[in-house]
Amino acid sequence: MAAQDPTRPRAPEPVPARRLFGTDGVRGLANAELTVELALALASAAAEVLVPAGGAGRGVAVLGRDPRASGEMLAAAVTAGLTAAGVDVLDAGVLPTPAVAHLVGAVGADLGVMISASHNAMPDNGIKLFAAGGHKLDDAAEDQVEACLGSGSRRPTGAGVGRVRTLDGAAGTYLAHLAVASPERLDGLRVVVDCAHGAASSVAPAAYRAAGAEVVELHADPDGLNINDGCGSTHPEDLQAAVLAHGADLGIAHDGDADRCLAVDAAGTLVDGDGIMAVLALAMHEAGELAGDTLVTTVMSNLGLHLAMRQAGIEVRTTGVGDRYLLEELRAGGYSLGGEQSGHVVLPRHATTGDGVLTALRLMTRVATTGTALHELVSVVRTLPQVLINVRVTDKAAVAVDPSVLGGVAQAEAELGGAGRVLLRPSGTEQLVRVMVEAPTAESAQHLAQRLAGLVGSV
């Protein structure tokens, strides 16, 4: 994928034909849109596509989930679908998404299944699939899985039926991996970690303490119902207050499945994925670890990140939104760092997908080893005012071709005169269109974004 000019204003992105898979697996309201029947069928279809036919022995799958209540129900359905197709299931229990991805490779499994709706509210849930090695599926593989739904061609009997066992030591295996991927000590660093009552509630504090940090835990008591409820990466207010109250050096906010993280500096100021990527990119650039002196990010990253990287001699390549698109570009170019403004950061040398705990360890390492406060490290990025408005719609496809919306985008681009950006992007998992405007002033960005959001909402 060729590098794109981030200064060029963008019209609405096209909406692809509706498919079961969104930008990050299959997601929906649990027991309504995402039913046990669908979960069972997906698991069977995944076995059909991802487990080689006629191989020696049965296939093996690693299964994990976040702590939301519906995960228990869906895990049972996925387990039934896999075992009915002759696949043995290694149940890793409640673990972050990147831990499940790592375990797929570590145990040599044929596939992995993570049951999570990430940052979504508790009533939602989702199913994420990993191929051998812990890699997310590309569009072609997802289409194959979708095409196999309901086929049920693999139905062994007797000893051919899959078995289920607990994957003992799963959390310990993941923590040992993190210690190798980020071995530097964090002694003397005080961090507050908001676990969003999610999958990171045990392993994130354990990983940070193992590295020597003094850890204050926040929202780390999941009960199945409180995941992401006013906390975590989508609601950092409690974290910001706690960092100030405890005099911490920084704070870390995870989402429900801990594949992302955001940060808070010692003054309580939020640091998004752009800031985190800038810190990591410069550290890797200095150490000669930034392959091709290139950072891969998405169209949502702020112009300020592009300008900071350009000044440091680092190229920025852009992709569509979604960490699997980042992964495709990272693998194609052999690059070593990519990420999203939302806090998904991918370090391909150590992880096959975004890993919020590993990202946080690397970020804290930079603070600890340089003795430089986080706010100083991120000050290299002069963020252009950006406004993002999520507009709920009835038909994302209609918005992309509506004359009033297209005309509104053209008018906003003319008013910006090349000094900002306009991006209208349909959500991959919900009936939402995200309206993003960057402009020289916050007032201008807010005005244009609200005007465009009104046009989108009227379609």
Binding-site residues for Mg(2+), in ranges, read 118, 255, 257, 259
Where is the binding site, in residues? 118, 255, 257, 259
Structure tokens at 370: 């340089």
Query: What is the rounded CA–CA span in Å between residue 239 and residue 233?
Result: 9
118 counts as catalytic? yes
- CA distance readout (Å), 213 to 185, 239, 271, 453: 8, 17, 20, 44
Q: Please report which helix (H) or strand (E) contains residue 114, including its range.
A: strand 111-115
Q: Which of 44, 70, 116, 118 is catalytic?
A: 118
Residues 6+ apart with CB under 8 A from 204: 96, 193, 195, 252, 254, 258, 356, 357, 360
**Residue 446: exposure state from Cβ atoms within 10 A (0-12, 13-18, ≥19):** middle
CB-CB contact of 85 with 43 (8 Å): yes
* CA 49 distance to own-chain centroid: 24
Query: What is the rounded CA–CA span in Å between residue 211 and residue 220?
Result: 19
Query: What is the rounded CA–CA span in Å between residue 162 and residue 32?
Result: 28
**3 state SS of 286:** helix
Structure tokens at 214: 């003094």
Structure tokens at 89: 């299931």
What is the DSSP code (8-state) at residue 322? S
What ranges in 194-289 are assigned the alpha helix state H? 203-210, 237-246, 273-286
The residue with tokens 């090349």 is 418
Structure tokens at 338: 């990519």
Structure tokens at 329: 């570009």
Packed helices 139-147 and 36-50: angle between N→C axes, nearest 10 degrees? 120
Cβ neighbours of 407 (radius 10 Å): 11
User: Which residues are the active-site residues?
Assistant: 118
